[in-house]
Structure 1
Amino acid sequence: MERSGTTMKSPSRTGEPVGVLHYAELALATLSVATTALVYGELFATKGHLVPLLAATAGAAVLATVTALLRRRTPTTVAVAVVGFVVVAVYAVLTPTLRHGIPTLDTLDTLRTGVLRGWARILSVGLPADVSGELLITPALILFTAAFVAVSVSLRTRSLLGPLAAPVLSLVAALLLTASRAGDELMLTGVLLPVLLLLVLIRAVRLDQTDIVTGTDGDSAARGTAGRTLFGLPVVVIVTVVGVVLSQAVPLATGSNRFDPRDVVSVPVEVEDTLTPLATLKSQLQEKKPRELFTVRVDGNPLGGRLDRVRTAALDTYDGALWTSSDQFLVAGHTLAPDPGLTPTARVALHVEIKQLDHPYLPAVGRPERVTAHGIGFSDDSGVLAADARTRPGLSYDVVGAVRPRDSAARLALPRLTPDTKRYTTVPPELPAELSRAAVEITGGADEPYAKLVALEKRLRSSPYSLSARPGHSLDALRRLFDDKQHKTAVGYAEQYAAAFVVLARSQGFPARVATGYVLRPGERKGSTYTVRSTDAYAWAEVAMTGYGWMAFDPTDPTRKPTDKSDPKKPDRAGGQNPAASDNRATDQGTIPNIPVAGGGRSAMDWALIVLGILLALVIVVPTLIALEKWRRRRGRRTGPPSRQIVGAWRTSTDRLMETGMPVPRSLTALEVAGRAEHRLGETAAPVAVLAPLVTEAVFSPAEPALEAVAQAWQADAALRSALRRDRGAAATVVAWFDPRPLIAGSRQDRRSRKALKKLQGG
């Protein structure tokens, strides 16, 4: 309240928002943050992350709206935000840790570790990750903070672009946390860009209308409002279309050059240093007392009974002396990242029990897609599983691998030459002339890529096999296999032949690697379980082929003795894979098990959940809270001394005027407000003229008003309510209860008026 001669400044001032536009602005601000939740679909294996993250976003929007409507100061707002996040995290994110709806010590511990180290856990887990509370806390905190800030800035400031900062930063954080996963930029751009543009447009129009209401440059604002709307909508459409097109042509946030924080963090699953598995092959094969390493139970009849081996390691780096692995292992969830170059025709389910293994690599078949073990490592590059020395003894796990064996269509398959597989084509710069010449001679008669690989395979399989050959797979050892002077006496075993195949294939531009593992021998099978011993160690070659993933080639024939003559029609060793086989009995296995696609792809259900969350938060919860707050205020205004109650009646009446769309600037006196109300509403506003002198006298009179004046003031307010109901109808009266303008306009002025009354009464 202010003195101005014999006039009284109105205790109400106009609100900044305009009902429908402000609801739209809040909805778009919240939706812009909720849209970034979709980016985390590339982090998690299933869509189970959506509901908790959308709940965090909606909860933050509701809390920010309430604190802004109540005009709480910064310390109170921050405290409400902190408590609100804890409640949302406990009951929306950490629900599985609750016991009968009550938080447990596990709940609090997961919340603490998630807030403090959740981001590090995300950067150290294998993708796609399981949907767990510890991993959800960080995204939930980011979205909660972004939504709270965006809504608060929208309600509390006049900055045109201010509400955009939080959604954009939320998007940047999401892209950083999911950097190693390729997302759907087209859909993300097509949704987020128009939402942000519409948010700016609606905010600009609303601020123009605020200028009209408050009389700040009203004429120019009125002219600009229509212009902004008519010009802004086409601009939104045009910019959205251009942005979507550019997101495909120039994907700035994607591609192999995109920064990934995982490149600068330590690898969480450290496997012990070990000699390359290829170099230990001979020592294992020559053990006099073979050790039992593990057992493998094969579920069903995969690959038509042709499953004959399990892979443990994939060796991709060759320096001319040793084949080694450059794999880095992240903690694996239950669902593992698929191979983008593999179109599986079958899936093989194994149950593995480890007895003893001298190396960290774990048995699997094809490309692992599911695993039940906890705490083991997974290399997304190679598809290899690993465990440290403490985890391996007694380890038991189930693993499902996707496979596509060589079939009749393989002859048309092409090498998968992508930036990710380019490193698999490198050879040592000092490659001997014998190897280069042999590669050209062997593959020269074949036209198709697959035929060249088969030619290499057949040539090496025709070579004699003997464990008496000197160990090692250096370039010199491989050169001896193709030395014309030593060709008749040169012998080798799987170590040399697998290494030679990969080197020759790479010299011809094929992405190839050496695979090591173990043979599943029919003689060691009991029921559906194989016992694998150290003497079952083996090595072969794998080439990345489009549609087939890492296609296996077996360049070793252990049955060919040094005295045997070359016979390409000689049958393969028992349990071996016939490279010339053209039938694909794996396709007779029936329907491929329904395994969820990793990466949380976006579908109509995703958008339905987003829309549902926004509607629940902004169409149901927020209006209900607004109505409850109005009811609380009007009750509170009927308490206290007579002067305060009369001012309360005036406040309530001016609230009703603002609900009709009538501006009530604080620069007007009570009598001037009454005059404007009569001019705008006619006889309906007559009770305001009765109430104006009463509130003027209550404020400026040194004595407290009589109780009869209090009753008269509230009777005038009731008369105004009845008149407005008759004039506007029941529906408009109900809608008025959910109009936020009186709350936003009156909260701060209520506090100022109470302080002014105390000063006047104290004086």
Structure 2
Amino acid sequence: MILLGALTAGAFATFFAGGEFGRAGLVLVAAVAVAGAAGCVAAARLRSGLLVGLAGVLGALVFGVCVPFAGRLADGPDVLSAFGAAARDGWARMLTVGLPAEAEGDLLVTPVLVLWAVAFVAAVLVVRTDSVLAPLLPPVLGFVVALMFTAARGRSLLATTGLIIAAAGLLAVVRVARLASAGRVSAVALPGVDPAAGELDSPPAGGREGSGGPDADGAAGPGRAGRSGRGALAGFVGREGRARARPLLGRLAFGLPVVAVAAILGTVAAGVLPIAGGADRFDPREHRTPPVEVTTSLNPLVQIKADHRAARAQTLFTVRLAAAGKQVATRRLRTLTLADFDGASWRTDGRFVRSGRVLPEGHGPDTATGTETRMEVTVEAPGGVFLPTIGRPVRADAASVDYAFQPDAGVLAAQRPLRAGDRYQLTARVPAPTTARLRAAEPATGPATERYRNLPSGLPTALGDLAATATSGATTPYERLTALAEYLRDPAAFTVDVDARPGHSYGALNRFLSPKGARADHRGYVEQFATAFALLARVEGFPSRVAVGYLLDDRFKPAPGTFTVTSLQSFAWPEVALDGLGWVAFDPTDTRRLGSRPPADDVDLPSGGDGSSAAQAQTAAAIITPELDRLAELGGAGGGGAERTTALAVLLALLAVAVVSPLAIVGEKRRRRRRRRAGTTAARIAGAWLEVRDRLAERGVSRSRAFTTDEVVDRVRAARGAGAADRVGELAPLVTAALFAVAEPEDAQAGRAWELATAAGRELRRTDRPVRRLVAAIDPRPLLPRR
């Protein structure tokens, strides 16, 4: 059972950074181990089911506070508030946070509580019931929950699914074999004995001499009248079923191959269905909106011109990059990417999600190779929210500001406006493709690239003709892209003019690129050159987007590897997704001809750049909607409240329990009653006694196996009066005879036993008040294991 819980914990651990062997994996496996041990002890030591449940809840609270929030225990009552908020809203944040997530307390609480419930309930069922399949249900349900929470990771859990099936089958086989070998009536169906009836009760103290248990030959012999109820039951079961029980090894020899075949077939089925696969598994995150939304009040492409025309540059950041000799890994910083074009404007792509130190991977074209580079950024002036990044960000550390991440674009955004002194460290994978690799590269393909090829209706015919003219003569994809960039950089055809008319719609770009008309129509600035290249690349079938950010300038380099970034260095460039290389940057804008104090030329322009993600000028106003940011802290989704969602879920759960549970209890009692009327004569008499004991349990009379029939009658007389006690007392001799007589009782005796059981039940109901009668009908105590 612990193995089943540990496998479920391993499935949950893939949600977090480090996976099964990280901090989250250790915490989740510990939760399973502690909960399983606590469940076994509670089930064995505590008689009341209510006390067992209370012990489980208290254990979950103690573990859920002390382990996931171990670093915050010194906060006192605040840690309890954090645990409460995480228990209420942690599931919602798990559906919106970027993956793999950091093993933080508010994210660990939900899987810890789920696994605690799984292990504790399974352990209790193992100890207190003889059911074979019931202990398997909690781990299976927990594994299904883990599959849904981890679907977005894209990792296949087919191997874990196979192990879960194998472990569950093995537990079932061993449990059946053990219970059958021990002669447990409720574990195996024996002839004449009801498996659902539970064990029989003790006989009257001082039973009849001479009617005792069997002798060495199996016949009745004297000297057994004083044996206990358990001894009587053992003798009864021995007569009825042990002759049919197979040896333990024989059962295992038959069951283990069946388990192996079932595990293989189950794993194959899970691979065919969208259950445990890595790509097509059902993902509830697709039906929940991330809680962080970043909006801009000014197009970042337009802001570049305003920055360059300003009379005075504003210092924005200090950037420290790891340098190999005198060279840094890249000279491009990006803060935003624009991938969606509607014919009038380019807009940012993707949605922002909250993230921990490990930044989640996106689903779009990405950098397959590259060198991990570390960058430290210090904010020098207050302003917007977009944070400079490089290459493909994989980790953010030592951040003084909470941030959200756009996985597909690789963009970081602070959850509040930046302030002077804010800082963070970024680790990114920066590609450095060789010229040979660039020349051999093909455009990236697949469903993730389709949005980057999209061209809205209304494309001017002249633009399609221009793309074909610019790339004529080129043979490879990279040569076509390079020819397109050189075509736009030709000063004889296009002029870089800071005073050029703004705009990058179909109409504006047609005016800028069309070979017809006055030369003034061929004047543009960074906005027009970058968007024109991206558009023409899509016309040629390449997946493209526009990146906004900054170019590092050696003129603002106070120390090796350290750069000061100013507003004059804001820039935009197009990027194209190439297979195996990710996003490769191109520069159709001649930076030497920028109007006002242009940034230094980028020495990497001919080779295509760094596969960056994107950016926006920091002076462009940007905000995070306050209501959505608050919900991000709570784990709620935009448009609805976590409290309302939780309240609705709790209400539906309570309604289901209120309707289904009573019906299930009543139905199970009726089923047991029918089954107890079947079997041999002795079994039917025993079933009548068990039925009476159940009716008494509904009215507060203990169902303990330790009581003799006479003791049961005495307790009924004390609790319900002489009338009920007399009805129960009339049944006691028939039960004693069924247990200890040598000969099988007659059918008439079995009929008489059930008549007396019916009369006893009628007497109990007669003395009940209407409310007591209703409560007794849905009382679950008769269905609980007896002790």
TM-score by length of 1: 0.67
Q: Confirm whether residue 252 of structure 1 aligns to residue 264 of structure 2.
A: no
Distance apart, 1:150 and its partner CA? 1.7
* Cα separation, 1, equivalents of 2:303 and 2:599: 22
Q: Confirm whether residue 343 of structure 1 aligns to residue 368 of structure 2.
A: yes
Q: Confirm whether residue 544 of structure 1 aligns to residue 572 of structure 2.
A: no
Higher relative contact order (CA 8 A, sep 6+): 1
Q: Confirm whether residue 379 of structure 1 aligns to residue 406 of structure 2.
A: yes
Give 3-state SS (helix, strand or coil) of 1:124's partner.
coil
* Cα separation, 1, equivalents of 2:62 and 2:333: 48
Aligned to 2:468: 440
Matched length = 567
Give 3-state SS (helix, strand or coil) of 1:382's partner.
coil
Asked if 1 retains the 8 angstrom alpha-carbon contact of 2:39 and 2:121, the reply is yes
Asked if 2 retains the 8 angstrom alpha-carbon contact of 1:498 and 1:540, the reply is yes
Q: Deviations over 1:248-304 (max 9, x none)?
A: 455534466544343444433332432231232212221122222222122334893
Q: Deviations over 1:558-613 (max 9, x none)?
A: 22589xxxxxxxxx9834144434999xxxxxxxxxxxxxxxxxxxxxxxxxxxxx
* Cα separation, 2, equivalents of 1:519 and 1:583: 11
Q: Deviations over 1:137-170 (max 9, x none)?
A: 1110000001111222233334443222211221
* Cα separation, 2, equivalents of 1:361 and 1:391: 8
Give 3-state SS (helix, strand or coil) of 1:510's partner.
coil
Per the alignment, do residues 752 and 110 of structure 1 end up closer, same or farther by CA in structure 2, a change over 3 Å counting?
A: farther
Asked if 1 retains the 8 angstrom alpha-carbon contact of 2:161 and 2:276, the reply is no
Give 3-state SS (helix, strand or coil) of 2:495's partner.
coil
* Cα separation, 2, equivalents of 1:216 and 1:449: 85
| Counterparts of residues 171-190 of structure 1 (less than 5 Å) | 171-190=143-162
Asked if 2 retains the 8 angstrom alpha-carbon contact of 1:339 and 1:367, the reply is no
Aligned to 2:510: 479
Aligned to 1:67: 42
Distance apart, 1:225 and its partner CA? 7.2
Asked if 1 retains the 8 angstrom alpha-carbon contact of 2:5 and 2:118, the reply is yes
Asked if 2 retains the 8 angstrom alpha-carbon contact of 1:33 and 1:146, the reply is yes
Aligned to 1:22: none
Distance apart, 1:317 and its partner CA? 0.8
* Cα separation, 2, equivalents of 1:158 and 1:50: 32
| Counterparts of residues 174-213 of structure 1 (less than 5 Å) | 174-209=146-181, 210=184, 211=188
Aligned to 1:627: none
Aligned to 2:477: 449
| Counterparts of residues 128-527 of structure 1 (less than 5 Å) | 128-209=100-181, 210=184, 211=188, 214-215=237-238, 218=241, 221-223=244-246, 229-248=252-271, 250-254=273-277, 258-301=281-324, 304-305=327-328, 307-338=330-361, 341-356=366-381, 358-372=383-397, 373=399, 374-392=401-419, 394-408=421-435, 409-462=437-490, 463-486=494-517, 489=520, 490-527=522-559
Per the alignment, do residues 226 and 378 of structure 1 end up closer, same or farther by CA in structure 2, a change over 3 Å counting?
A: same
| Counterparts of residues 10-29 of structure 1 (less than 5 Å) | 29=1
Residue type of the partner of 2:4?
S
* Cα separation, 2, equivalents of 1:500 and 1:297: 33
Aligned to 1:57: 32
* Cα separation, 2, equivalents of 1:324 and 1:347: 29
* Cα separation, 1, equivalents of 2:264 and 2:7: 18
Asked if 1 retains the 8 angstrom alpha-carbon contact of 2:156 and 2:277, the reply is no
Distance apart, 1:548 and its partner CA? 2.0
* Cα separation, 1, equivalents of 2:452 and 2:239: 68
Per the alignment, do residues 194 and 276 of structure 1 end up closer, same or farther by CA in structure 2, a change over 3 Å counting?
A: farther
Residue type of the partner of 2:422?
L
Q: Deviations over 1:108-147 (max 9, x none)?
A: 2332222222222323332222212221111100000011
Distance apart, 1:217 and its partner CA? 5.6
Distance apart, 1:351 and its partner CA? 1.6
Asked if 1 retains the 8 angstrom alpha-carbon contact of 2:302 and 2:527, the reply is yes
Q: Confirm whether residue 533 of structure 1 aligns to residue 508 of structure 2.
A: no
Q: Deviations over 1:415-469 (max 9, x none)?
A: 3323333222211122111222222333353343333322222222224322122
Distance apart, 1:484 and its partner CA? 2.1
Deviates more, 1:248-257 or 1:337-346: 248-257
Give the % identical residues. 36
Give 3-state SS (helix, strand or coil) of 2:28's partner.
helix
Give 3-state SS (helix, strand or coil) of 1:130's partner.
coil
Q: Deviations over 1:161-215 (max 9, x none)?
A: 3222211221222223223211232322232221122223333334433347634
Per the alignment, do residues 77 and 281 of structure 1 end up closer, same or farther by CA in structure 2, a change over 3 Å counting?
A: same
Q: Deviations over 1:654-712 (max 9, x none)?
A: xxxxxxxxxxx999xxxxxxxxxxxxxxxxxxxxxxxxxxxxxxxxxxxxxxxxxxxxx
Distance apart, 1:547 and its partner CA? 2.7
* Cα separation, 2, equivalents of 1:215 and 1:320: 85
* Cα separation, 1, equivalents of 2:444 and 2:14: 23
* Cα separation, 2, equivalents of 1:92 and 1:330: 26
* Cα separation, 2, equivalents of 1:263 and 1:162: 33
Asked if 1 retains the 8 angstrom alpha-carbon contact of 2:586 and 2:608, the reply is no
Asked if 1 retains the 8 angstrom alpha-carbon contact of 2:500 and 2:523, the reply is yes
Asked if 1 retains the 8 angstrom alpha-carbon contact of 2:402 and 2:415, the reply is no
Distance apart, 1:85 and its partner CA? 1.4
Deviates more, 1:223-232 or 1:474-483: 223-232
Per the alignment, do residues 236 and 129 of structure 1 end up closer, same or farther by CA in structure 2, a change over 3 Å counting?
A: same
* Cα separation, 2, equivalents of 1:364 and 1:60: 44
* Cα separation, 2, equivalents of 1:270 and 1:755: 70
Aligned to 1:5: none
* Cα separation, 1, equivalents of 2:567 and 2:301: 13
Per the alignment, do residues 461 and 752 of structure 1 end up closer, same or farther by CA in structure 2, a change over 3 Å counting?
A: farther
Asked if 2 retains the 8 angstrom alpha-carbon contact of 1:316 and 1:325, the reply is yes
* Cα separation, 2, equivalents of 1:215 and 1:257: 53
* Cα separation, 2, equivalents of 1:281 and 1:288: 14
Residue type of the partner of 2:499?
S
* Cα separation, 2, equivalents of 1:470 and 1:203: 81
* Cα separation, 1, equivalents of 2:96 and 2:710: 56
* Cα separation, 1, equivalents of 2:329 and 2:608: 13
Q: Deviations over 1:329-353 (max 9, x none)?
A: 1222111124674233322222212
Give 3-state SS (helix, strand or coil) of 1:499's partner.
helix
Asked if 2 retains the 8 angstrom alpha-carbon contact of 1:443 and 1:453, the reply is yes
Asked if 2 retains the 8 angstrom alpha-carbon contact of 1:544 and 1:551, the reply is yes
Asked if 2 retains the 8 angstrom alpha-carbon contact of 1:338 and 1:368, the reply is no
Structure 2 gaps, min length 5: 191-233, 611-681, 685-702, 719-724, 726-787
Distance apart, 1:520 and its partner CA? 1.1
Per the alignment, do residues 202 and 436 of structure 1 end up closer, same or farther by CA in structure 2, a change over 3 Å counting?
A: farther
Query: Alignment partner for residue 556 of structure 1, among 565, 579, 589?
Result: 589
Structure 1 gaps, min length 5: 1-28, 563-571, 585-664, 668-746
Give 3-state SS (helix, strand or coil) of 1:79's partner.
helix
* Cα separation, 1, equivalents of 2:305 and 2:337: 18
Distance apart, 1:306 and its partner CA? 5.7
Aligned to 1:607: none
TM-score by length of 2: 0.66
Q: Deviations over 1:383-431 (max 9, x none)?
A: 1000244455542111121110332322222333233332222111221
Asked if 2 retains the 8 angstrom alpha-carbon contact of 1:363 and 1:385, the reply is yes
Q: CA RMSD in A?
A: 3.6
